[in-house]
A = this chain, B = another copy of it.
Amino acid sequence: MVAPLFEAVPNFSEGKNQAKITRITEAVRAVPGVRVLGLHSDPDHNRSVLTFAGEEDPVLAGAVALARACFSELDLASQAGEHPRMGVLDVLPFVPLRGATMDGAVRLAHRTAEILGSLGFPVFLYGAAATSSHRHALPDLRRAGYEGVATRLDDPLWKPDFGPHALDPRTGAVAVGARPFLVAFNAFLDTSDVEVAIQIARRVRESSGGLRAVRALGFSVGGQAQVSMNLTDLGETPIHVALEAVRSEAAELGTSVESTELVGLAPLAAILDAARFYLGLRELAPDHVLEMRLFEPPDS
């Protein structure tokens, strides 16, 4: 048995000050067993998204190190007028990777939330880790940002799952959650007509009755119409199912998919799923991939 792997994708409230961003990131990188996979800092919204992964305990330690660094480096009170946020460490989702289950990610979220609470930080659980269905969706939880959270801390419906029932205006609160891996997948159409992309997006996305766990918008990118998708649960809708839906809608509208792109990382299982589907393979497991055999621990 290989140890299950998890990913953490925290959003923290600093996207401008490079020295602070570096110190916060280095605090995570210094944890043995943690692999930092990416950092995206957005100065306009003054936020950063860090991606790191590893086994359960290192990822837990990395998340705690990140929270401590955010507490000591950042001050929410000096950030009035920015993009809505409720804390210096704003959102902390955990994602099950190879060998891990959503139950495992929920447990990791609860363990982390308990520790952050004991550090004096109010913690709200969301996503698959939510303790009540009305707290499942992140937008509902953090509506109106810090001020919104502050006004309803006494409401039993919205009290924190861990930590004090009071907000320190310097650090705020954090939403800790568990969710599936998200894949960003775009289809470029053989047309410059953005209306066609908008129409296809509307037909395939879940919010207007299309495919489950698919968010989609139509854009014009370099003069070419593009259907931009977020696949939020590949177990519900894999990449090839989303693509075949777009291809079929495009054909109905008299155009076709010219090419596609994956933005960021995709899990191997998603690529294998697509290859298995199109090649008609009876079976295709990570175990059949040479490199996975080379890089796995010998006892796998």
Contacts and interface: CB of A to CB of B under 8 A. Distances in A.
B284 A262 contact: yes
Interface size class of chain A, counting residues whose CB lies under 8 Å from the partner chain: 35 or more
B35 A290 contact: no
B257 A294 contact: no
Nearest to A243: B279
A291 B54 CA distance: 11
Contacts of A37: 290, 293-294
A281 B298 contact: no
Interface string A68-111: 00000000000000000000000000000110000000000000
B262 A98 contact: no
Interface string A238-270: 011001000000000000011111101111100
B293 A295 contact: no
A272 interface: yes
Contacts of A260: 279-282
B291 A286 contact: yes
Given A275-B271, A296-B295, A261 B290 contact: no
Given A97-B294, A260-B279, A278-B278, A265 B289 contact: yes
A240 B290 CA distance: 18
A292 interface: yes
B261 A283 contact: yes
Contacts of A258: 280
A235 B275 CA distance: 18
Nearest to A183: B290
Chain copies in the assembly? 2
Contacts of A281: 259-262
A262 B275 CA distance: 12
A274 interface: yes
B282 A261 contact: yes
Contacts of A289: 265-268, 271
A196 to B, nearest CB: 17
A5 B294 CA distance: 9
Contacts of A293: 35, 37, 265
Contacts of A274: 275, 278-279
A148 to B, nearest CB: 34
Interface string A39-78: 0000000000000010000000000000000000000000
Nearest to A292: B291
A270 to B, nearest CB: 9
Contacts of A275: 271, 274-275, 278
A187 B282 CA distance: 10
10 contacts: A7-B290, A35-B293, A35-B298, A37-B294, A97-B290, A240-B279, A261-B282, A262-B281, A265-B293, A292-B295
Q: Enumerate the 4 nearest inter-chain pairs by beta-carbon distance, A residue then B residue, closest first.
A: A278-B278, A295-B295, A265-B290, A268-B291
